[in-house]
């Protein structure tokens, strides 16, 4: 049975649909009403407020904290400035991805790392020889994502116009409703947005203040269903859906390296040793077996196969996490792991892992699609990720 | 080629003209769009007439903008974002009103309050309409075939059409025949008993027409609106973020990016014709521009009766164009509001008002509204379709304030004092609208910061739509498909070689759909291949 998050009192009373699921053992709202459309449009058009407390959060402090984080992550954080955030993979010795998350430098000797799965033991186990203290702050810190084009205006009302200066992947300490918080300009929506890190006791005060300030700016509480659509539009992958955490895999073939899941850009090879460095260097030289791509599934193709049955085309109203095979000239070359109809782009989008030689932009593949219990194949083209990338995200 | 010579010149920067230009530019043509006003978009414009408040001045909802046009022209990249209107609310004076929700069960319970029977029939009706709509949809993409032609290409199109009809079951064909002949209310009577529900649904049959809900043929218009399509699935209506002008802006940006040239404040005075062939246009300032194709994005009346010389067209054709009914029947009131106006029958700014609202309390109310119009007056108690876009899109009003868009019917162009008397009647018309709405929303009057009233005469004067007809000609059955605008010239071609039509006055016409513009471009490109 999941536990209530510190925001549960608010989210539960607003959640008319009673649709919850467990996210890392917490009750998390899927969608507040019967379907997620209005929440999706809040993210893209005004602002959405999402409880992200279930993320795992760790504070790493001490003399060697920078060296330790750099050793654990594929990124080198020794040069990360105080008040900056970065995104990284964490790998095992074989270069297989264990987790992905953000790393914030709170101080010269203090970092906060977020992960999708519990990582305390793994940090601890690798900390021998480093002057570093690992603290699991997952429960003591509540967190909210405020995402969407109006998010900055809402925060400006709460913390002053200084927020305008917070750059993409920046961090600033602030006070909301009397509660000391940290605000990072990060998120999982691919839009302008912020995440607020709040001491547990102040959670409700901050929620109330944000909702009140956001009212005139069209804020809506948002659940995970809408998040799933926007994160696919943004081309972001999700652990346990688009890749699996290496130590939790039973078979080798389920594991992925950062290069294979499109996160090669987070790997800084030529530097001080880090876990997985050797294997990743070898892979970089040899070339990867798999690649991660964005696919645009032909809507005309979808219409065609439905027309054969005399049916109007229909798609799930939510993002789909069911893996389906991808083919090239009749042979299976990979799988779609997430897919969604993009209400803004009017396109049927998918994230897929395919053989490395299939990753070129413009490459035409076929994706399985079932109509009337029959498995059909529809044209899909490899396109650039992110599918949706508004300028406001960075400016 | 000189600077002043183009492959194609598009007259009018409305959304169809822009779509047509974009597709032609995409195919490599040198294209010029000429817009008379200082803003692009024609009837699809956003204007900030009161500081901080952005009005979708005329056209205010989108339902039919073709998804393939959105994809082909990459419109989201240029700022297009369509926000679905999830609910549909018909307030009442002496009851809680009717809300149709995106949730089928919630809607069923809502309708059951009026009639348990209707509540169960309602989804079946929707399914039947979807089936018929399914047949109509490919037709929207099709250039209307000429039923009298023996040209093989034409025969193929007729065959395709025949096959589409053939795929329908007998019941569906009967349903379709009914749709083509019955009035909206007669048609709905066969399905439903609740007056409020029938009134709510029946208004779709009269929007933009000079007919009442009990006039034959309006059942088809009902379906035309029922096809409102979002996301390639048959669903409700939407609004464009930033107002409908953003749609035009996005199409214009896309067209420019594809190489089209667009000029504003460049009104066309005349279409130049030599030896039965269009050669170019003369601008209001006297500049002559030549092109192989001249494409009119304005309505058939303005094209042939305004921009062509009578001598360039034969009398029979001119007569058929004169017969093409324009008959604007609606007006528009746009309001800037200081606060959200509460509806007495269902307070709050929840989901129920984040859709469209219909003032259509009964079938008789709607028919009485038409009675006023029949005899040359605006309706004292009109039908209204109201949207408060700022609830979904806060960018169109300052924080906490709102914009209200009110489509009003009937407001006949030809009022009994004559259309030119509209400037004197305009504010009285606006008052009737506010008074009517205030019955449902008593707070309304005191919250108004600014109001804009547009009669069909104003729409004609400002936007150039003849008689203020929002569809460039009534969407009545005898003016559709292979008869739009006239039976022999319904394929975007005109009797003048090299002169084409690409706007709402051609098939399929009506609404911010872009299909006419895209179809016309397709035809023009094919003709080039042949030449």
Residue B263, domain CATH: 3.50.50.60
**Boundary (domain end) residue, out of B433, B466, B499:** B466
- Domain that residue B61 falls in: 5-83+242-324+471-530
Taking the CA atoms of B32, B35, B36 and B38 in sequence, report the sign of the dihedral they define.
Answer: negative
Both B450 and B343 in a single domain?
yes
Both B246 and B217 in a single domain?
no
Residue B21 in any domain: the answer is yes
Give pLDDT, residue B126.
81
Q: How many residues does chain B have?
A: 531
Neighbours of B427 (CB within 10 A): 12
Confidence of residue B149 (pLDDT cuts 50, 70, 90): low
Residue B116 in any domain: the answer is yes
Contact A44 B81 (CB under 8 A): yes
Residue B94 in any domain: the answer is no
Residue A215 touches chain B, beta carbons under 8 Å: yes
Contact A41 B83 (CB under 8 A): yes
Walk me through the domains of chain A, giving residue ranges and CATH numbers.
Answer: 8-53+139-222 (3.30.1360.120), 57-121 (3.30.70.1400), 246-256+289-383 (2.40.30.110)
> Distance, in angstroms, between B454 CA and closest chain A CA?
29
Both B339 and B447 in a single domain?
yes
Give pLDDT, residue B232.
38
Both B292 and B311 in a single domain?
yes
Contact residues for B295 (Cβ-Cβ < 8 A; gap 6+) = B8, B9, B10, B11, B17, B20, B499, B500, B501, B502, B520, B524
d(CA B27, CA A86): 44
Give pLDDT, residue B228.
46
Give pLDDT, residue B167.
66
Suggest the residue from B66, B68, B76, B137 to mutate for an interface test with chain A (most A CBs closer than 10 A).
B76
Residue B487 in any domain: the answer is yes
Both B332 and B445 in a single domain?
yes
The pLDDT of B215-242, averaged and rounded, is 69
Q: Are A39 and A210 in contact (CB under 8 A)?
A: no
Using CB atoms, pick whichever of B230, B241, B399 lies closest to residue A45: B241
- The pLDDT profile of chain A, 395 residues, written as one tens digit per residue, is 899 999 999 999 999 999 999 999 999 999 999 889 899 999 999 999 999 999 999 999 999 999 999 999 999 999 999 999 999 999 999 999 999 999 999 999 999 999 999 999 999 999 999 999 999 999 999 999 999 999 999 999 999 999 999 999 999 999 999 999 999 999 999 999 999 999 999 999 999 999 999 999 999 999 999 999 999 999 999 999 999 999 999 999 999 999 999 999 999 999 999 999 999 999 999 999 999 999 999 998 998 998 888 777 878 878 999 999 999 999 999 999 999 999 899 899 999 999 999 999 999 999 999 999 999 999 999 999 999 999 999 98
Contact residues for A266 (Cβ-Cβ < 8 A; gap 6+) = A74, A75, A87, A88, A89, A100, A258
d(CA A387, CA A342): 9
A299 neighbourhood in chain B, CB within 8 Å: 67-68, 71, 232
Please report where in the chains the tokens 């008869």 appear, as a residue.
B483
Residue B136 in any domain: the answer is yes
Both B69 and B117 in a single domain?
no
Give pLDDT, residue B530.
43
Residue B307 in any domain: the answer is yes
Both B409 and B315 in a single domain?
no
d(CA B46, CA A206): 37
Contact A346 B232 (CB under 8 A): yes
Domain count for chain B, please give it.
Answer: 3
Residues 133-152 of chain B with CB under 8 A from chain A are 134
Q: How many residues does chain A have?
A: 395
Give pLDDT, residue B466.
92
Both B344 and B457 in a single domain?
yes
d(CA B484, CA B476): 10
Q: Are B484 and B506 in contact (CB under 8 A)?
A: yes
Selection from A277-281, B315-319, B526-530 with the highest mean pLDDT: A277-281
Contact B84 A313 (CB under 8 A): no
Both B122 and B23 in a single domain?
no
Is pLDDT of B1 > 50? no
In angstroms, the Cα distances linking B33 to A31, B28, B267, B295 are 45, 15, 10, 9
Mean pLDDT, chain B, whole residue set: 88
In angstroms, the Cα distances linking A29 to A19, A101, A223, A362, A366 are 6, 22, 5, 37, 34
Taking the CA atoms of B359, B360, B361 and B367 in sequence, report the sign of the dihedral they define.
Answer: positive
The pair of three-digit structure tokens given for residue B296, joined into one six-digit string: 């009119």
Is pLDDT of B332 > 60? yes
Using CB atoms, pick whichever of A38, A150, A312 lies closest to residue B394: A150
Both B190 and B118 in a single domain?
yes
d(CA B327, CA B459): 12
Give pLDDT, residue B475.
76
- The more confident residue out of B187 and B236 is B187
Is pLDDT of B3 > 80? no
The pair of three-digit structure tokens given for residue B308, joined into one six-digit string: 């062509």
Comparing C-alpha atoms, which of A345, A347, A292 is closest to residue A315? A347
- The more confident residue out of B230 and A391 is A391
B14: helix, strand or coil: strand
Residue B400 in any domain: the answer is yes
The pLDDT of B48-64, averaged and rounded, is 90
Q: In DSSP terms, which residues pair with A73 in a beta bridge? A: A90
Both B112 and B214 in a single domain?
yes
Residue A2 touches chain B, beta carbons under 8 Å: no
Q: Are B298 and B308 in contact (CB under 8 A)?
A: no
Cα B230 to the center of its chain, rounded Å: 15
Both B217 and B251 in a single domain?
no
B68 neighbourhood in chain A, CB within 8 Å: 299-300
A344 neighbourhood in chain B, CB within 8 Å: 76, 81-82
d(CA B48, CA A379): 44
Contact residues for B56 (Cβ-Cβ < 8 A; gap 6+) = B44, B45, B46, B239, B240, B243, B244, B245, B334, B389, B405
Q: Is B265 left (phi over 0), alpha (psi -120 to 50) or beta?
A: left
d(CA B78, CA A315): 26
């Amino acid at each position: 049975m999941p536990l209530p998050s510190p925001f549960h009192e608010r989210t539960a009373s607003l959640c008319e649909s009673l649709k919850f699921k467990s996210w890392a053992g917490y009750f998390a709202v899927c969608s507040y009403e019967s379907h997620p459309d209005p929440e999706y449009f809040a993210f893209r058009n005004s602002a959405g407020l999402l409880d992200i407390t279930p993320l795992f959060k760790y504070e790493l402090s001490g003399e060697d904290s920078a060296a330790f984080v750099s050793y654990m992550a594929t990124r080198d954080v020794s040069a990360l400035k105080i008040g900056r955030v970065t995104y990284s993979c964490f790998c095992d010795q074989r270069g297989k991805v264990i987790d992905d998350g953000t790393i914030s430098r709170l101080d010269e000797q203090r970092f906060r790392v977020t992960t999708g799965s519990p990582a305390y033991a793994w940090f601890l186990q690798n900390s021998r020889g480093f002057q570093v203290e690992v603290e699991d702050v997952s429960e003591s810190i509540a967190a909210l994502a405020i995402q969407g084009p109006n998010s900055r205006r809402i925060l400006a009302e709460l913390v002053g116009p200084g927020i305008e200066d917070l750059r993409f992947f920046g961090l600033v300490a602030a006070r909301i409703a009397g509660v000391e918080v940290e605000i990072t300009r990060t998120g999982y929506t691919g839009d302008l947005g912020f995440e607020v890190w709040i001491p547990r006791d102040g959670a409700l005060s901050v929620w109330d203040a944000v909702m009140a300030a956001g009212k005139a700016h069209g804020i809506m509480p948002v659940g995970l269903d809408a998040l799933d659509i926007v994160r696919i539009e943004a081309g972001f992958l999700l652990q346990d859906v688009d890749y699996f955490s290496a130590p939790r895999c039973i078979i080798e073939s389920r594991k992925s390296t950062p290069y294979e899941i499109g996160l090669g850009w987070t790997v800084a090879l030529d530097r001080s040793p880090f876990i997985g460095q050797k294997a990743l260097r070898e892979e970089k030289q040899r070339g990867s077996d798999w690649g991660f791509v964005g696919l645009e599934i032909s809507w005309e193709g979808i219409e065609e196969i439905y027309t054969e049955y005399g049916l109007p085309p229909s798609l799930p109203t939510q993002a789909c996490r069911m893996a389906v095979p991808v083919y090239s000239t009749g042979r299976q070359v990979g799988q779609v792991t997430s897919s969604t109809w993009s209400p803004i782009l009017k396109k049927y989008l998918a994230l897929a892992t395919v053989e490395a030689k299939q990753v070129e932009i413009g490459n035409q593949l076929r994706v399985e699609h079932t109509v009337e219990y029959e498995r059909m194949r529809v044209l899909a083209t490899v396109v650039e990720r992110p599918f949706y990338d508004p300028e406001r995200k960075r400016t | 080629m000189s600077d002043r010579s183009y492959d194609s010149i598009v007259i009018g920067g409305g959304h169809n003209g822009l779509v047509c230009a974009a597709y032609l530019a995409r195919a490599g043509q040198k294209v010029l769009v000429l817009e008379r006003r200082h803003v692009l978009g024609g009837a699809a414009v956003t204007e900030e007439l009161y500081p901080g408040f952005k009005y979708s001045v005329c056209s205010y909802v989108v339902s039919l903008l073709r998804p393939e046009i959105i994809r082909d022209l990459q419109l989201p990249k240029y700022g297009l974002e369509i926000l679905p209107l999830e609910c549909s609310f018909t307030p009442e004076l002496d009851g809680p009103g009717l809300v149709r929700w995106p949730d089928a069960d919630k809607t069923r319970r809502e309708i059951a309050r009026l009639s348990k029977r209707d509540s169960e029939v309602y989804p079946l009706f929707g399914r039947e309409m979807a089936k018929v709509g399914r047949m109509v949809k490919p037709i929207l993409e099709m250039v209307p075939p000429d039923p009298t032609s023996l040209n093989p290409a034409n025969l193929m199109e007729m065959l395709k059409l025949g096959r589409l009809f053939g795929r329908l079951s007998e019941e569906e064909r009967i349903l379709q025949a009914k749709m083509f002949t019955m009035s909206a209310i007669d048609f709905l009577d066969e399905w439903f008993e609740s007056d409020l529900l029938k009134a709510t649904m029946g208004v779709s049959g009269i929007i933009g027409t000079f007919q009442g809900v009990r006039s034959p043929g309006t059942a088809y218009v009902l379906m035309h609106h029922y096809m409102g399509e979002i996301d390639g699935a048959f669903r409700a209506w939407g609004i464009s973020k930033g107002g409908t002008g953003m749609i035009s802006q996005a199409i214009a940006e896309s067209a420019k990016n594809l190489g089209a040239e667009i000029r504003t404040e460049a009104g066309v005075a005349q279409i130049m014709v030599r030896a039965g062939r269009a050669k170019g246009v003369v601008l209001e300032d006297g500049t002559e521009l030549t092109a192989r194709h001249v494409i009119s994005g304005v309505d058939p009346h303005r094209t042939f009766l305004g921009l062509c010389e009578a001598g360039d067209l034969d009398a029979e054709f001119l007569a058929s164009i004169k017969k093409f009914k324009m008959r604007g029947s609606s007006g528009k009131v746009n309001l800037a509001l200081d606060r959200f106006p509460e509806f007495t029958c269902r307070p709050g700014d929840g989901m129920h008002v984040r859709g469209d609202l219909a003032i259509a309390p009964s079938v008789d109310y709607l028919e009485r509204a038409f009675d006023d119009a029949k005899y040359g007056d605006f309706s004292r108690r009109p039908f209204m379709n109201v949207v408060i876009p700022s609830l979904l899109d806060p960018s169109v009003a300052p924080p906490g304030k709102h914009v209200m868009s009110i489509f009003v019917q009937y407001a006949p162009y030809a009022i009994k004092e004559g259309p030119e008397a509209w400037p004197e009647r305009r504010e009285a018309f606006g008052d009737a609208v506010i008074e009517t709405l205030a019955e449902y929303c008593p707070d309304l009057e005191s919250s108004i910061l600014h109001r804009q009233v547009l009669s069909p005469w104003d729409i004609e004067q400002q936007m150039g739509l003849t008689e203020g007809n929002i569809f460039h000609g009534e969407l009545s059955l005898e003016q559709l498909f292979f008869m739009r605008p006239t039976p022999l010239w319904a394929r975007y071609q005109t009797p003048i070689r090299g002169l084409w039509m690409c706007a709402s006055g051609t098939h399929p016409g009506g609404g911010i759909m872009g299909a006419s513009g895209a179809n016309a471009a397709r035809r023009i490109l094919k003709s080039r291949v042949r030449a």
